[in-house]
């Protein structure tokens, strides 16, 4: 492995790390110790509120504040992110902005390596006139760029892809896809759940139209805090049918229909925000901001390169791209019986998971030491 740089891994801030080698950041990040205080602060505000003062004092604005922090991680401007209940709802919110039958464009381009919600949500739009093209992957690891570009045409309204695949850690070439899509008048949505907090994101610079994701994995936050980024100059053109009173320009007027969407990114909200979820994500976000995603990405690449070399030298089948520029923060390794191997590794205090067709998923984050990464691969060698 290339020499370890001097970075503060802040291990004492993650109590879970004492129980073993945590390589599960693609699934469930470890809770920061400070989340306990943050959740207590939530309880305090709740306990002491009388009538609506907790809302007036902090809760109403909190969603926008957390949204702006997440926008920073995505490389977007303040005011570009609306918190959502989860990434699947964020995606449905975007889907509900399109008029497939009347707009003259009704094709959605997606890929075989995307998270299942992607195809479920787009499939459900077929009854509204959408046509869904799922770009195939021959090896289950990559979707060749030329096949994605080929699928984008003048009928395409949206190209919706995982930035990094949950299945193989394959990372798409964003700039080439955005360029082609925009040339054809199509928009681009990236599911960045597997890249935000692990890979540097440049929403504004890339000119991406939408990003969706959530906080529980690489961002070390709690569950049920999804997010939706919408390119600022696109926001006012869209009127999501998946909506509610919080998206109204004057929600406390409780006006009758028709809906009058807020001018801000809040037009993509629905109902009452999940306040506990917002409290649960602040400590993790703070740590990720302070460590810095460029540092996290460099560490991830240094260790995943070594892990892949280690696996290939032993003749194991690696189900992630070899090229670091086509990869996110995880390494997928084929084993004969994934669930059994996950259990045997857990008995040795190495925590990973597996997915059908790709085998084990292993994800070193900045808080893992090099010794942990070496030890985890050593234990795997013994068990294989
Ligand atoms: C790439 C990706 N997208 C979406 C999801 C699902 O997100 P949610 O449960 O917030 O809808 C996951 C993982 O759970 C994922 O890995």
pLDDT at 51 over 80: no
pLDDT given for residue 57 in this prediction: 75
Token pair recorded at residue 6: 């001097």
Averaged pLDDT score across all residues of the chain:
96
Indicate if the pLDDT at residue 52 is higher than 70.
Answer: no
Measured between alpha carbons, how far is 331 from 321 in angstroms, rounded to an integer?
9
Cβ of 162 less than 6 Å from ligand 1: yes
CA 290 – ligand 1 centroid, Å: 25
Q: Enter the tokens of residue 310.
A: 């280690």
Tokens 């082609």, residue? 180
Residue 94 CA to residue 325 CA, distance in Å, equals 28
**Other C-beta atoms lying within 10 Å of the C-beta of residue 95:** 22
When pLDDT is averaged across residues 345-374 and rounded to a whole number, the result is: 97
- The pLDDT assigned to 123 comes to 97
Q: What pLDDT, on a 0 to 100 scale, did the predictor assign at position 50?
A: 75
Handedness of CA 124, 126, 127, 129 (dihedral sign): positive
Q: Which residue has the least CA distance to atom 6 on ligand 1?
A: 87
pLDDT value at residue 327: 98
Distance CA 112, CA 119 (A): 9
Q: Are 207 and 365 within 8 A, CB to CB?
A: no
- Mean pLDDT of the 38-45 span: 94
Each residue of 204-221: pLDDT tens digit? Answer: 999 999 999 999 999 999
Q: Whose CA is nearest to atom 8 of ligand 1?
A: 87
Q: What is the pLDDT of residues 310-342, one digit of tens each?
A: 999 999 999 999 999 999 999 999 999 999 999
- Is residue 344's pLDDT more than 90? yes
pLDDT at 53 over 80: no
Residue 104, pLDDT score: 87
Centroid of ligand 1 to alpha carbon of 87 (angstroms): 6
Relative to the CA of 162, which ligand 1 atom is closest? 1
Q: What is the pTM of this model?
A: 0.97
For ligand 1, whether the C-beta of 210 sits within 6 Å is no
> Ligand 1 center to residue 88 CA distance, Å?
7
Query: Does the CB atom of residue 169 touch ligand 1 within 6 A?
Result: no
Q: Is the CB–ligand 1 distance for residue 88 below 6 Å?
A: yes
pLDDT digit string (tens) for 283-304? 999 999 999 999 999 999 999 9
Q: What is the pLDDT of residue 335?
A: 97
Ligand 1 contact via 235 beta carbon (within 6 Å): no
Q: Report d(CA 191, CA 216) in Å as an integer.
A: 14
State pLDDT tens for residues 230-281: 999 999 999 999 999 999 999 999 999 999 999 999 999 999 999 999 999 9
SS (H, E, C) the chain: CCCCCCCCCCHHHCHHHHHCEECECCCCCCCCCHHHHHHHHHHHHHHHCCCCHHHHHHHHHHHHHHHHHHHHHHCCCCCCEEEECCHHHHHHHHHCCCCCCCCCCCEEEEECCCCHHHHHHHHCCHHHCCEEEEECCCCCCCCCHHHHHHHCCCCEEEEEEECECCCCCEECCHHHHHHHHHHCCCEEEEECCCCECCECCCHHHHCCCEEEEECCCCCCCCCCCEEEEECHHHHHHCCCCCCCHHHECCHHHCCCCCCCECCCHHHHCCCCCCHHHHHHHHHHHHHHHHHCHHHHHHHHHHHHHHHHHHHHHCCCCECCCCCHHHECCCEEECCCCHHHHHHHHHHCCEECEEECCCEEEEECCCCCCHHHHHHHHHHHHHHC
Q: Which of 25, 110, 114, 115 to mutate to test the pocket of ligand 1 (most atoms within 8 A of CB)?
A: 115
- In terms of Cα–Cα distance, which of 19, 14, 23 is closest to 169? 23
CB of 194 closer than 6 A to ligand 1?
yes
Residue 226 Cα, ligand 1 centroid: separation in angstroms? 9
Q: How far is the CA of 214 from the centre of ligand 1 (A)?
A: 7
Nearest CA to ligand 1 atom 7: 87
Within 13 Å and on the Cβ side, how many CA atoms surround 129?
13
C-alpha to C-alpha distances, 336 to 47, 58, 146, 315, 342, nearest whole angstrom: 52, 52, 32, 14, 11
* pLDDT digit string, tens, across residues 4-16: 888 999 999 999 9
| Dist. CA 115 → ligand 1 center (Å) | 6
**CA 270 / ligand 1 centre spacing (Å):** 19
Q: Which atom from ligand 1 is nearest to the alpha carbon of 91? A: 11
The response to whether residue 191 sits with its C-beta less than 6 Å from ligand 1 reads yes
Please give the Cα distance from 38 to 45 (Å, whole number): 11
Read off the pLDDT band of 56 (50, 70, 90).
confident
State whether the beta carbon of 277 lies less than 6 angstroms from ligand 1.
no
The response to whether residue 372 sits with its C-beta less than 6 Å from ligand 1 reads no
- CB 227 near ligand 1, within 6 Å: no
Q: Is the CB of 226 under 6 A from ligand 1?
A: yes
Alpha-carbon dihedral sign for residues 95, 101, 102, 104: positive
Probe target for ligand 1 pocket from 70, 117, 119, 198, with the most ligand atoms within 8 Å of CB: 117
């Amino acid at each position: 492995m290339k020499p370890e740089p001097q970075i503060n891994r802040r291990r004492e801030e993650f109590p879970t790390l004492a129980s073993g080698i945590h390589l599960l950041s693609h699934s469930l990040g470890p809770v920061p110790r400070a989340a306990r205080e943050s959740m207590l602060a939530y309880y305090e505000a709740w306990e002491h509120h009388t009538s609506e003062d907790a809302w007036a004092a902090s809760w109403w604005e909190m969603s926008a504040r957390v949204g702006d922090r997440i926008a920073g991680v995505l490389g977007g401007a303040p005011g570009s992110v609306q918190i959502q209940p989860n990434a699947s709802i964020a995606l449905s919110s975007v889907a509900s902005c399109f008029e497939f039958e009347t707009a003259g464009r009704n094709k959605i381009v997606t890929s075989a390596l995307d998270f299942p919600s992607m195809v479920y949500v787009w499939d459900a739009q077929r009854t509204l006139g959408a046509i869904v093209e799922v770009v195939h992957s021959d090896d289950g690891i990559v979707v060749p760029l030329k096949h994605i570009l080929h699928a984008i045409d003048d009928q395409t309204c949206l190209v919706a892809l995982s930035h990094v695949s949950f299945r193989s850690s394959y990372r798409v070439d964003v700039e080439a896809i955005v360029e082609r899509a925009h040339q054809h008048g199509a928009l681009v949505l990236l599911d960045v759940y597997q890249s935000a907090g692990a890979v540097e994101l440049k929403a504004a610079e890339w000119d991406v139209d939408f990003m969706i994701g959530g906080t529980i994995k690489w961002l070390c936050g709690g569950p049920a805090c999804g997010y939706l980024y919408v390119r600022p100059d696109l926001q006012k053109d869209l009127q999501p049918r998946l909506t509610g009173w919080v998206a109204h320009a004057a929600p406390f007027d409780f006006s009758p229909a028709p809906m009058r969407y807020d001018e801000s990114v809040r037009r993509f909200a629905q109902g009452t925000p999940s306040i506990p979820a917002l409290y649960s994500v602040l400590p993790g976000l703070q740590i990720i901001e302070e460590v810095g995603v460029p540092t996290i990405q460099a560490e991830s690449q240094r260790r995943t390169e070594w892990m892949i070399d280690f696996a290939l030298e032993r003749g194991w089948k690696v189900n992630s791209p070899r090229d670091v520029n086509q990869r996110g923060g995880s390494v997928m390794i084929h084993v004969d019986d994934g669930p059994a191997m996950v259990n045997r590794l857990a008995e040795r205090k190495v925590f990973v998971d597996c997915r059908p067709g790709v085998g084990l998923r292993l994800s070193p984050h900045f808080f893992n030491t090099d010794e942990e990464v070496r030890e985890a691969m050593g234990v795997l060698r013994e068990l294989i």
